[in-house]
Every structure is written in C-alpha cells, then in structure tokens.
Copies of this chain bind each other. A is one copy, B any other.
Amino acid sequence: LRRCLATAKAPSTLFESLDTFTDRHVGPDDSEATFMLSKLGYDSMESFLAATVPPNIRIADDTISDASIPALSESELHARAKALGRKNLQFKSYIGMGYHNAVVPPVILRNVMENPAWYTPYTPYQPEIAQGRLESLVNYQTMIMSLTAMDIANASLLDEATAAAEGMVMAYVHSGHKKKTFFADKAVLPQTIAVLRTRAKGFGIRLVVGDASTALRDDGLRADLSGVLLQYPDVNGQITDYKDLAKEVHGSGALVVCATDLLALTLLTPPGEWGADIVLGNSARFGVPTGYGGPHAAFFAVTDSLKRKMPGRLIGRSKDTMGNPAYRLALQTREQHIRREKATSNICTSQALLANMAAMYAIYHGPVGLTRIAKKVHFFTQLLRASVERLGFKVANDAYFDTLTIDVTPVCKNAEVVHAAAALQFVNLKKIDSTRVGVALDESVSQEDLKVLVELFATAASGPKGILDEIAQPAGTAIPSSLTRTSKFLSHSVFNTYHSETEMLRYIFHLASKDLSLVHAMIPLGSCTMKLNSTSSMIPLTWPEFGGVHPFAPAEQVEGYRQIIKELEADLCKITGFHSCSVQPNSGAAGEYAGLTVIRAYQESRGEGHRDVCLIPLSAHGTNPASAVMAGLKVVAVKTHADGNLDLADLKVKAEKHKDNLAAFMITYPSTFGVFEDGVTDACKIIHEYGGQVYLDGANLNAQVGLTNPAVCGGDVCHLNLHKTFAIPHGGGGPGVGPICVAEHLAPFLPSHPLLKTGGNKAIDAISAGPFGSASVLLISWAYIKMLGGNGLSQSTNTALLNANYMAQRLAGHYTLRFKNANGCVAHELLIDLAEFDKVAGLKVTDFAKRLQDYGFHPPTCSWPISTCMLIEPTESETLEEIDRFCDAMIQIRKEVDDIVSGKQPRDNNLLKNAPHPLSAMILPDKEWNRPYSRQEAAYPMPWLRERKFWPTVSRIDDAYGDLNLVCDCPSVEELSSS
C-alpha cells in the first residue's frame, strides 16, 4: 500500500484550501480505510457503522457536518486566532489574588512547554519508559517539601482552591469523620472559599469563615473543629505570625492547613516550621504563564504522619530488578480506580506538565536566583509603599511580601479614581471596594513599570510626579524578623547545577530521552484517547496574547478569550446534543463531581434534596464512585452481564429499590468494556422513571462524535475530557479539562464564580479557582474542532472505530477478545483477556505490558476495567502501518508465550518475565547474561526495531519495595556523595 494524504481525493474545487487539517489528523488514507473495511467484510464505511452503532441512537448525518461546524484550514485557524488574540488587551495586571505574571525562562518555554516530547506523554503508569518525567516530578516534590519545610509533597493537584478543598476533606477524614466543622480565615482567597463551600456541602462539612485570630475563642467551634485554613501571606498581602494559633488549633485536636506562596517562602519562615500540617498553593509564579487562569500546578504537602492519606499522585524512588535506583508512581493503591467509593478524593489527571515547568524554573534559578528574585520583588514593593505613602495614601498592611492594600480616601474621592488613572496606563489594579485598591508585584515588574505605577497613583492623588526618584532605598524589610526564613532550602545538587542555558538545555533533553511519548510510537491506552496533539493547535497557546492574561481582568479586556470560550461551548453543545456547557472543571473527575453536584442542586430546587443514591456499574472508572461520594451520594453498584452489557434487570431492581432516594445513574458510553450497548436508552428510561438523573461519563466520546450523542442516548449531563476526545495533550499526567454539558433543565445550576459571573441563575458554587478553569488550553480544543469541522470530526470518530475493529480482527485467533456486540463489532477500543496465560504459563498482564516495551510500544491500559485484561485504543490518528506494527508485536509476543507454554522457555526466566530489557542488561557479558534467549531476541524481536527502537532505561521496577520504603524527594548531596 502506497500512502497518500489521508483523504487522497482531489479537492472538490480548486478553490479549496490545501492545508486542511483532517488530512493530517486522521492516520489512514482512503485506500487504507477501504482495505481495512474489506478485511472486516464491509463494502462501505456506512455499512460498517451500521453494524457497530445501535440504530436507535444514531443521529442524522448532517447534525455534525461542515454545515453545522465549518472547517478552517490550519492557516485560516491561525489567522482567526491572531485576530481574536488581538481582542485580549495587553494590560499589565497587578491584581494578584493567587495569580502573578510569570517570567517563563525561554529555554523552558521552548524545550518543555513547546516540546511534544514533554507535552504528549501520558501519566507515567509505565515507569520503565518514563524515568525522565518521573525524575522531574520528584524534583517538583522536593522543591515543594524544601520550600514549605514539610515532610512529603505530591506531584501536583488541579489548582489552589481544590487543593484547599482536599486539605479540608483530609482534616475531616483525619478526625475520623467525626468533626464536622472546618474553619477558614476570612483573608483566604475568595475563590478558594467558594470552592470550599461547594466541597463542604457534599461531605456535610460545616464551613465557617471568620477571623482566625479570634474564632478559636468559641468553645463550640473548637469542639467540632477538624481544621483551620490560613493564607500566608493573606489576600490583603498581610503576613501574620500563626505560630501561637497553630498551637491552639493542635490543642483542640484539629489540623492546621496553610495556603501559601512559593516565592514568599524563600524569605519567610516556612509553614512547616511553625506548625502547619498541610501546606498548599499554586506554583504558577515559578515560570508558568497566567493563561487567563490556568492550567497551573497546585502543590500539596503534609507531615509524615499524614502521608498515606494524601490525595493525588505521589512519585517515589524504588529500585529495578538489577538493583538500580528507579522512580515510579508510589502508593498506587491509593489511586481512585482502586479505592472507588472508599475514596475521599477523585484526583486522576492532575497538572504534571505545569509541575515540571515549575520544577525546571527552580532548577534554572537555584536557591540563590530565587532569593534574588524574591528580594527584588519585595524591594520594589517597599518602594511602592513608601511612594504612595509620600503621596498621602494609607497602606493598610504593615508586614508584607509583595502585596499592598491601599486606602485611597486620604487623597482621592474613591477607589474608582485610582482605577481610572490605572486604566489610562493600561494597568489593572485589584478592585477591593470603594475605598481601597490592591497592588501585587511580581518578577515581571521592571523599574519602568514601577515608575508607571507610582505615577498613576500620583495622577490619582493630583500629587507631584517623580516621587520614586526621591524615595530612599528602604533599610530593612517589611517581613517581621520573627518570620524571616533562617533555614536553607533547595540545597540538593539538582537545584545547584543547571544554571547556564546550555546545562539546562541538556538536562531537559536528557530527561526527555528517557520517556516514550507520541513522538515515538502509538500509545494505545484504552480510555485515554491518545490522538494527535497537533502543532497548529499548540502554537497559539504560547502567544503572549493568550499567555499573559489575568483571570480576573475586566471582561472588556478579554473579548478574545470570551469569544473562543463561547464558540467552544457552543460546539460542545452541538456535539453532545445538550443545551449548555461549563468549562470550569479542570479534569474529567472534576467534571463528574461538578455534574453530580449540579444534579443535586436541581433536585434540591425541586424539594428532592434527600435523593442521595447513585447507581454505578461495576465496570465504571474509579473516579465515578469517588466523585459520587464527594457529591454526598451513596454508591450502589449495578451488575453487568457476562457479555459485558449492563444488566438491565439488575438496574431496574436497584432503581426500584432506591426509588425514593434515587439521585443519579452514572454510565460510560460506549462502555468501559469497549462496546456500544444496545440498552443505553432503556437504561436511561428506567432511571428517569424512578426520578433519577443520568450522568454520562464522556471519556469515550471519541466513539460518538457525529454518530450519536449523550443527549440522544438519554443522558441529562455529561463531562468531556478535552484531553482525550478534543486533543489537549496529556502533558505526562495533566493538564486536563473536564467541561460539563447539560440538558436545559440543569442549565441554571452550572457553576458560578465569586469574582465574575459564570453559570446559570441558580448556580452552584465554584468548582475551580479559575472562572473558566484552565482557560488557556481551551484554545487547543477550540482549534481542534474548528480545524476538523463537522465532517472531519465525524471522519475522526468513524476512523477510530474502524482502526479498533481492524485491530480486533487482527488479534482474534491470537488473543481472547472479551466483549463485542451482536454483529461482532467493538467500539473505539477493545478489551483482550490474558487470564488464560496465567494458568498455562504463569504470565500476568504486567508481563505482556513490560514485554511490549521491548517492542518500542507503550502498553495499553492494564488490568482495568478487568484485572486480567488489556484495554487497547488505537485512535484515528494512527496509520494502518502503525496498527499493523502493533498487531505484529502482539502476535509475536503470543509466539513467545507458546514457547513458555510448551516448556521451551522456563516459566521464571523468559522474555516476558524478564521484560523490559534495558540497555544495561544488553551489555552484560554472556556469563552474567544468563538467559535462555539471545540479546537479539530480547531487544530486536522484530526487524523494524533495528531502525527504530525506544529503550527502557531501567529494568522492571519493584513496586512493593518502593511502597515499603517510601522516598519521595531527590537524593541529597550527602546521599549522592556516598553512592
């Protein structure tokens, strides 16, 4: 087969744009598609689709077509993005409130953020081919531990507000679910308090917001108190010494939760040194653009005694079978897909890429550089304070790092006068109330900027110009001496080595060289939809027009963003068949939680707030039950038949049984078993009959677009993983976006935000810190949809189905395909069962997975949703050649298995059990090699590997050892020098 552009057809008119995206996005060209169809016994795509998708849920062909969503070529998309970008006005924002202008070191911008080797990998579930980003995430954890002075830190959470919510829930769990009160200081960021409010409700926590300095005098509160949240420095910029308060909190048996700022901690006593139990915040000011609110990596650190209850992913150091040190996801048993309804957090996708950027930033600057930056920011803030005071303004906070709250009334009529003067200089200050304005400085502020700031205050005060030049260099600092940091930080070698650009560049490339990503081969992770993350969709992301925007910038300055979000929401509604959309949730799991919370608010509004049962099939993703629990629901499991289909009879029984309290039913469609079930509409009818709402988990939406949709299937709400179906790169474990789309009756309840209007008129509280969640990466999905257009979107789904079915057919006869529909078709992924090989050859799923690494492939999803299975999803972006290569590898492995079954190879020392085979094993001399097969068979089982081979950098990693000996930071200088 000779390959051509994907569509291969001559353009329909000579006028047509030639850089059409569908041609590049979809792997197989027309002749390959025809070939695959014929292998499957179909004479047309339409007949194949008819056999695959139940007719009762098919939508009209023109629902999603170029008529409903016109396609832009790649260059047209860029022209449009430029034009919209120009509508984001380039004001300089000093709004602060958790979001600071970042200076992204160019070497990190280009070689991490803009490098597909960094942005396309998946979560490092396969550590042998992910040592690079695992090391980087350990650097991140180390940085957090060191700056906060805490014992352990995780590898990021979604944002500061949800991290605070996780902290609140941890405190609650820590109290044995006994103490229902959680206290938040009123000077905590307002968006954090809004998210706490949402989360508190689901868990039945009583959230009290007040003045922390006096609140604990209330005995009633103390008695029921699980924890106290403090902001350090607080929303007004004030730095408070919480040492005594922390003792009091501990005295009442509660936990101290502290939200803080990494840059400030280079100068301030870290919370770990004054008694905090949980420390969290946003790491974005370490070199991650504000991006109109995200994505950013939140951090989360705890004391040693809390470590095994910490939410989120944690990377640990362990060793491989050859005794070499190796990194891996630690304590994986905590991951929600295991804990299910016992979970108290649903974190899955988090913010790996952004955490890596922040870690690289700290590595590039080192402790000396970071301190220099912090000192300059603080010095400028002192100068600003002195200047505005000289002008007659009154600064409300005396102890501060970078943020001032300024009372304008001594010299101005009201705050509006100052804001007006600011606007003339293209400056945004923080709007507090009619008498006060806020100013937060950051690394990006130049001497020139500072001058502009002072002059605008002078203008507002009708005061003299040139004050700044008269101000003497302040003597001391405005940080209380009791809170001045004395402890060293970031003394590890990695933070003290890569300070020249050349060294940094080499470190970045060296780590990347250890990681398998989409730049190498297919990543057929079922349920993850690892399709092309196109360059065209990634390019506008790092334009300053989109990167530099503050999330709380006035609406008239962000018309470009707003338009893009509006169009994206509209397109997602078209695609799902729903009425309204919210892009606020920062991951699929966050979307689940948001959707269920919306359902509950709706039911409450109808006087049905007591409904609290959620039916969930046993085959569901672990985030589903976890999210249900977080929304205050009780999970009741629904069975599936042996053929993989939902047991409708069981569903009916359970629905009937719980009819008085039935809140919702959560279902994934096509099912997590990889099949379009016939009964989906029936199932939804049953639920509706019993007064429940249907939540559709949209992780598998890639199988639906243009063919069916969640609304037609009978759902009321669904989330979409934009980082799956809509091509946001996974970033090695995040960012993600999990917008929810809802039917009209649910639209009024979509989430609000305390700082600007989002959601419906009966909106639930905020789900994320940012009004539009991880706003900047929405650009990627917007571009994806606009470039494919309706026809391309449909063609993508059709091809995803075709690729999966072709693969199923090629593997049949070699492996047991677990489920298919009555016509023998799978959906966009397939589940093969490897249980039989355990019996006959002692082989587990992991052995197959590790052996696939030797073939240069990322293994499919393992042991989920069935422990003995692999879930394989090729997506539409892979070509026939790549799919055949993968099938050839699987078939060859099957032959290797035969040799074990037949006794040719021993059960305990064979190609699969010893897999993967890193280079370090290859170069052993024969006597140490000591295996009943050759190096060639180990490393080059297929001829194409001689030309292209991705090498695992370690051998199989010992998980148990790592969990027993939990080490989550990078080696100290002492450790390094002793080894």
How far is A25 from B500 in the complex, measured between Cα atoms in Å?
A: 6
Q: Which of A164-172, A373-381, A453-461 is the contact stretch?
A: A373-381
Complex interface: chain B residues within 8 A of A513 (CB): 513
- Asked whether, in the complex, the Cβ of B877 is within 8 Å of the Cβ of A5, the reply is no
A161 in contact (CB, < 8 A): no
- Asked whether, in the complex, the Cβ of A518 is within 8 Å of the Cβ of B502, the reply is yes
Given A372-B18, A506-B521, verify A106-B2 contact (CB < 8 Å).
no
A482 in contact (CB, < 8 A): no
How far is A110 from B542 in the complex, measured between Cα atoms in Å?
A: 12
- Asked whether, in the complex, the Cβ of A534 is within 8 Å of the Cβ of B5, the reply is no
How far apart are A418's CB and chain B's nearest CB, in angstroms? 25
Q: Which residue of B lies closest to A10 (CB)?
A: B372
Complex interface: chain B residues within 8 A of A939 (CB): 923
- Asked whether, in the complex, the Cβ of A3 is within 8 Å of the Cβ of B502, the reply is no
How far is A535 from B830 in the complex, measured between Cα atoms in Å?
A: 44
How far is A75 from B445 in the complex, measured between Cα atoms in Å?
A: 11
Q: Which residue of B lies closest to A117 (CB)?
A: B509
State which of B3, B6, B919 has its C-beta within 8 Å of the C-beta of A497. Answer: B3
How far is A922 from B917 in the complex, measured between Cα atoms in Å?
A: 13
A45 in contact (CB, < 8 A): no
How far is A376 from B922 in the complex, measured between Cα atoms in Å?
A: 53
Complex interface: chain B residues within 8 A of A6 (CB): 499-500
Given A923-B935, A923-B939, verify A499-B23 contact (CB < 8 Å).
yes
- Asked whether, in the complex, the Cβ of A923 is within 8 Å of the Cβ of B940, the reply is yes
Chain A 198-211, CB within 8 Å of chain B: the 1/0 string? Answer: 00000000000000
A446 in contact (CB, < 8 A): yes
How far is A500 from B534 in the complex, measured between Cα atoms in Å?
A: 10
- Asked whether, in the complex, the Cβ of A502 is within 8 Å of the Cβ of B27, the reply is yes
State which of B110, B881, B925, B936 has its C-beta within 8 Å of the C-beta of A535. Answer: B110
Q: Which residue of B lies closest to A116 (CB)?
A: B505
Complex interface: chain B residues within 8 A of A497 (CB): 3, 881
State which residues 1-27 of A face B: CB under 8 Å: 2-6, 8, 10-11, 14-15, 17-19, 23-27
A795 in contact (CB, < 8 A): no
Complex interface: chain B residues within 8 A of A521 (CB): 506
- Asked whether, in the complex, the Cβ of B5 is within 8 Å of the Cβ of A368, the reply is yes
How far apart are A223's CB and chain B's nearest CB, in angstroms? 50
A532 in contact (CB, < 8 A): yes
How far apart are A387's CB and chain B's nearest CB, in angstroms? 14
- Asked whether, in the complex, the Cβ of A518 is within 8 Å of the Cβ of B501, the reply is no
- Asked whether, in the complex, the Cβ of A500 is within 8 Å of the Cβ of B926, the reply is no
Q: How many copies does the complex hold?
A: 2
How far apart are A367's CB and chain B's nearest CB, in angstroms? 9
- Asked whether, in the complex, the Cβ of A106 is within 8 Å of the Cβ of B74, the reply is yes
A: number of interface residues (CB 8 Å): 89
How far is A19 from B103 in the complex, measured between Cα atoms in Å?
A: 9
- Asked whether, in the complex, the Cβ of A502 is within 8 Å of the Cβ of B116, the reply is no
A904 in contact (CB, < 8 A): no
A934 in contact (CB, < 8 A): yes
A637 in contact (CB, < 8 A): no
- Asked whether, in the complex, the Cβ of A14 is within 8 Å of the Cβ of B501, the reply is no
Complex interface: chain B residues within 8 A of A11 (CB): 372, 376
A29 in contact (CB, < 8 A): yes
- Asked whether, in the complex, the Cβ of A926 is within 8 Å of the Cβ of B923, the reply is no
Complex interface: chain B residues within 8 A of A323 (CB): none
Complex interface: chain B residues within 8 A of A446 (CB): 17, 75-76
A473 in contact (CB, < 8 A): yes
A226 in contact (CB, < 8 A): no
Given A446-B17, A923-B939, verify A879-B500 contact (CB < 8 Å).
yes
State which residues 567-605 of A face B: CB under 8 Å: none
Q: Which residue of B lies closest to A2 (CB)?
A: B496
Given A29-B499, A532-B501, verify A110-B114 contact (CB < 8 Å).
yes
Complex interface: chain B residues within 8 A of A379 (CB): 14
Given A14-B379, A117-B509, A946-B920, verify A4-B501 contact (CB < 8 Å).
no
- Asked whether, in the complex, the Cβ of A878 is within 8 Å of the Cβ of B520, the reply is no
Residue contacts A-B, CB under 8 angstroms, 8 given: A3-B497, A8-B368, A14-B473, A15-B447, A18-B372, A19-B105, A76-B446, A513-B513
Q: List 20 additional A-B contacts (Cβ < 8 Å) besides A27-B503, A75-B446.
A: A3-B497, A5-B365, A5-B369, A11-B372, A15-B447, A18-B369, A18-B443, A25-B501, A26-B500, A27-B502, A29-B499, A110-B116, A111-B116, A116-B505, A116-B509, A117-B509, A500-B879, A501-B877, A925-B935, A926-B926
User: Which A residues have a C-beta under 8 Å from some C-beta of B?
Assistant: 2-6, 8, 10-11, 14-15, 17-19, 23-27, 29, 74-76, 103, 105-107, 109-111, 114-117, 365-366, 368-369, 372-373, 375-376, 379-380, 443-444, 446-447, 473, 496-497, 499-503, 505-506, 509-510, 513, 518-521, 532, 534-536, 538-539, 877-879, 881-882, 919-920, 922-926, 934-936, 939-940, 946, 948
Identify the 5 closest CB pairs spanning chains A and B, nearest first: A106-B535, A923-B935, A509-B519, A926-B926, A24-B501
